[in-house]
Amino acid sequence: MKHLLSTRDLDRDTAVRILDIAEEMSRTADRAVRKLPTLRGKTVVNLFFEDSTRTRLSFESAAKRLSADVITFSAKGSSVSKGESLKDTAQTLEAMGADAIVVRHGVSGAAELLAHAGWIDATIVNAGDGTHEHPTQALLDAYTIRSRRFGDDARGRDLAGLRIVIVGDILHSRVARSNVWLLTALGAHVHLVAPRTLLPSGISTWPVTVHESLDDALDTGPDAVMMLRIQSERMHDAYFPSEREYAREWGLTAERATRLGPDTMVMHPGPMNRGLEISSVAADSPASTVLDQVSNGVFVRMAVLYLLVAGESQEES
Amino acid sequence: MTSILVRAAAMLGGGREDLRIRDGEIASRGSLTPERGETVIDADGLVALPGLVDLHTHLREPGFEASETVLTGTRAAAAGGFTAVHAMANTSPVADTAGVVEQVARLGDEHGYATVRPIGAVTVGLAGERLAEIGAMARSRAAVRVFSDDGLCVADPLLMRRALEYVATFGGVIAQHAQEPRLTEGAQMNEGALSGELGLAGWPAVAEEAIIARDVLLAEHVGARLHICHVSTAGSVDIVRWAKARGISVTAEVTPHHLLLTEELARGYDARFKVNPPLRRDEDVHALRAALADGTIDIVATDHAPHPSEAKECAWAEAAFGMVGLESALSVVQHTMIESGMLDWADIARVLSEAPASIGRLDGYDAPLAIGAPAHVTLVDPTAARTWSTSDLRGRSSNTPFAGRVLPGRVMATIHAGALTVSDGEVVDAAELGTKEGD
């Protein structure tokens, strides 16, 4: 595996392997010295055309714990905002010795283009491209589900038979897309819930069950409910009438949260709109995995960088 | 002007004949003997077509000379066998006054590679707010007959109605770029399962079909002539077919790329395949071919849209819409329509020469290759084949979507108004053409 662009490219065994390596990485967090020497001498560039403090910090932290040299390049106030093209920026960073480029871009396909346009040779990790994919988010979600469900017995397991409900703006969500492909590859059943305006066209060809009522979806007894962030400006484009109606119809209200089974996880990729797609009761309940997702994000990204950047010799072991 | 003898060309619907061209006209046909000082073209094995006419070309001059100029665009046209092109109005300044259209037509005349027929804007500055000076453009030396806001749809129904009525006064036609703007805000590719998967904003077929349906009804209501640019969906074909059956005066075009390519090409996010209207589904491609074969779609037009490489070497949503198409058009039509048995060469002459000239009210193409007719001739080798590449292009930009594909046929000679613009498969130098040096 040279790049991580999309979870569509991951088969079950590769995905399980990444999760297993992430589990190894999590053990280092308990050590007195958290750093591993694995990527010493390698340079990882975080190329962020879009603001995303959480994802950027998570990747930075992951690369540093693997002893890589980390350069972070934010588009704001840089040559990019002065009109430099994606191609020139990428070539400049590679000329500075980047072994891997972690790219976040507001346009779908930007990571794929960097990997395959022939401009550069560096490894590309997609940290979110437009409304397309966000593969490390899906990996950390899968990791979180697996470790909550199976605890110390998680290693080597997939998510066969688990039922995951994803709720909200599927149309514009790279998190939803990456999760659909990954969770399905891992054997889980994915259920999507959204008003029709926020479902992508062609959804019937996806390997998912679509519900138009959140209550119907919750009645199926899911193992996890993943609430997506809703952007309130969507209501100006007539995707839904008002925040109040959205929260009532599609939000994980306190009432709905209390109806969930005792083992049903409540997930959110963050940042949350409390009171809109998720109530504080749900977000702060013991069922919530929101903070686990953040810490697991570092382990999963360590695993991905390790697999892609450490090189052949390391991969053997 | 020296005379040209074309020897043993395969004539449409007949056998081989010699063709003498003198003083810009077809002087004689039959079995002819070379005369002293005459240029002789051995056309054994070549098909003689009337010079091709493109109703939809972006020449980019004035204003966007980094992409194309009248000179480079008409050289590309000649290479593709075209002897006349209709230059779209979305230049800078916009072709919405007599001054701009006269300048563009004059540049075409000066260079001599092809007749350049400017298309006038329907609305001032393509802004869709008030009518441009259509009468002035019609009465100018450019004698504009086709009006279009191409690139933008005349979306306001009242303005469209008035435009249809008003251009009829001057024997004109509105060429509508059918795209409902609100339904296509931010649209990047055909709306369907693939756009959903790729996370690219969809351009739904209904946004084209709704405008076509509205406009054929408007054309019927006011009794005016309507032309639909680059029809791209099976549903649009159904509406045009219905309108024609009803007797509505509507014509339609399809581009070569919509006859061959599908939305699947968006999968790698390579912006060379980004075009407006977007590449559609396989079903649409087949419906368009069938419609061209049965006459529902009248013509093939290139929508030749040059862009500099920096406008294509970027992320999909940031890239420009459009593809160059003049040089490859005839080969793509041969590949999709002749090799499939849906059209023959006489049909090609109709859909790429006679019919577009008729829609554009361009004289000299109604009696192809007849004695006394203007000498616009294209000689094509139908047995040739080449792996298409940017080195086959003759314009200023290289955004062809066909690179790497094997395409049949090759234009070996183009004669525009009695002058060779392409000889031995190569565009002739300006000096050889005996016209003013440009550029």
In degrees, rounded to 5, the angle at the alpha carbon of residue B332 between the alpha carbons of residues B330 and B336 is 120
Every domain range in chain B assigned CATH 2.30.40.10: 4-47+373-428
User: What CA–CA distance (Å, rounded) separates B243 from B217?
Assistant: 8
| Rg of chain B over all Cα atoms, to the nearest angstrom | 21
Every domain range in chain B assigned CATH 3.20.20.140: 51-359
User: What CA–CA distance (Å, rounded) separates B55 from B253?
Assistant: 9
Examine residue B34 and say whether the peptide bond preceding it is cis (omega within 30 degrees of 0): no
Task: Assess contact for A46 and A73: CB atoms under 8 A.
Answer: yes
Task: Assess contact for B411 and B85: CB atoms under 8 A.
Answer: no
User: What CA–CA distance (Å, rounded) separates B328 from B339?
Assistant: 15
CATH architecture assignment, domain A135-290: 3-Layer(aba) Sandwich (3.40)
Q: Quick one: which of B279, B400, B290, B293 has its CA closest to B350?
A: B293
What integer pLDDT is reported at residue A83 of this predicted model? 63
Q: State the CB neighbour count (10 A cutoff) for residue B123.
A: 23
User: What CA–CA distance (Å, rounded) separates A274 from B212?
Assistant: 46
- The pair of three-digit structure tokens given for residue A234, joined into one six-digit string: 């969507």
User: What CA–CA distance (Å, rounded) separates B352 from B301?
Assistant: 7
User: What CA–CA distance (Å, rounded) separates B235 from A116?
Assistant: 35
How buried is B116 (Cβ within 10 angstroms: 0-12 exposed, 13-18 middle, 19+ buried)? buried
Amino acid present at B47: V
Q: Quick one: which of A220, A144, A215 has its CA closest to A175?
A: A144
What are the chain B neighbours of A111 within 8 Å (beta carbons)?
A: none
Strand A43-48 to A100-105 pairing: parallel
Separation in Å, CA B342 to CA B162, B165, B193, B252, B406: 38, 36, 30, 18, 20
Cβ separation B310–A85 shorter than 8 A? yes
- Using one digit for the tens of pLDDT, what is the confidence trace for B176-212? 999 999 999 999 999 999 999 999 999 999 999 999 9
A222: left (phi over 0), alpha (psi -120 to 50) or beta: beta
**Mind giving me the DSSP string for B53-67?**
EEEEE---TTT-TTT
E-state strands within B245-311: 250-254, 299-300
* In CATH, B4-47+373-428 is 2.30.40.10: yes
**Mind giving me the DSSP string for B31-48?**
S----TT-EEEE-TT-EE
Task: Assess contact for B12 and B345: CB atoms under 8 A.
Answer: yes
- The pair of three-digit structure tokens given for residue A53, joined into one six-digit string: 């403090």
Q: Domains of chain A: which residue ranges? A: 7-134+294-316, 135-290
Any A CB within 8 A of B195 CB: yes
Any A CB within 8 A of B418 CB: no
Chains A and B form CB pairs within 8 A to the count of: 74
B364: left (phi over 0), alpha (psi -120 to 50) or beta: left
The list of chain A residues with pLDDT below 70 reads 76-83, 311-317
Any A CB within 8 A of B269 CB: yes
Q: How far does the CA of residue B185 sit from the closest CA of chain A (Å)?
A: 10
What integer pLDDT is reported at residue A216 of this predicted model? 96
- Which backbone phi and psi does A263 adopt, to 5 degrees? -105, 5
Task: For residue B189, give the 3-state DSSP assignment.
Answer: strand
Whether B344 sits among the annotated catalytic residues: the reply is no
- The pair of three-digit structure tokens given for residue A262, joined into one six-digit string: 């005792």
User: What CA–CA distance (Å, rounded) separates B166 from B137?
Assistant: 13
Q: Quick one: which of A85, A104, A76 has its CA closest to B311?
A: A85
Cβ separation B198–A174 shorter than 8 A? no
User: What CA–CA distance (Å, rounded) separates A133 from A108?
Assistant: 8
The DSSP bridge partners found for residue A129 are A105, A133
What integer pLDDT is reported at residue B433 of this predicted model? 83
Q: A248 a known binding residue?
A: no
Assign a CATH topology to domain B51-359. TIM Barrel (3.20.20)
The DSSP bridge partners found for residue A225 are A165, A266
Q: How far does the CA of residue B276 sit from the closest CA of chain A (Å)?
A: 18
Q: Which residues contact A275 (CB under 8 A, 6 or more apart)?
A: A247
Q: What is the DSSP letter of A171?
A: T
Q: A106 a known binding residue?
A: no
In degrees, rounded to 5, the angle at the alpha carbon of residue A135 between the alpha carbons of residues A129 and A140 is 135
**Terminal C-alpha separation, chain A:** 16
Q: How far does the CA of residue A48 sit from the closest CA of chain B (Å)?
A: 14
What integer pLDDT is reported at residue A30 of this predicted model? 80
Active-site residue (options: B303, B344, B347, B381): B303
The CATH code belonging to domain A7-134+294-316 is 3.40.50.1370
Residue with the two structure tokens 């002893």: A67
Task: Assess contact for A26 and A74: CB atoms under 8 A.
Answer: no
What integer pLDDT is reported at residue A28 of this predicted model? 85
* A7-134+294-316 and A135-290 have identical folds: yes
H or E, element range at A16: helix A12-28
Q: Flag whether the ipTM exceeds 0.85.
A: yes
Q: Which residues contact A184 (CB under 8 A, 6 or more apart)?
A: A190, A207, A208
Cβ separation A177–B199 shorter than 8 A? yes
The list of chain B residues with pLDDT below 50 reads 436-439
The DSSP bridge partners found for residue A267 are A226
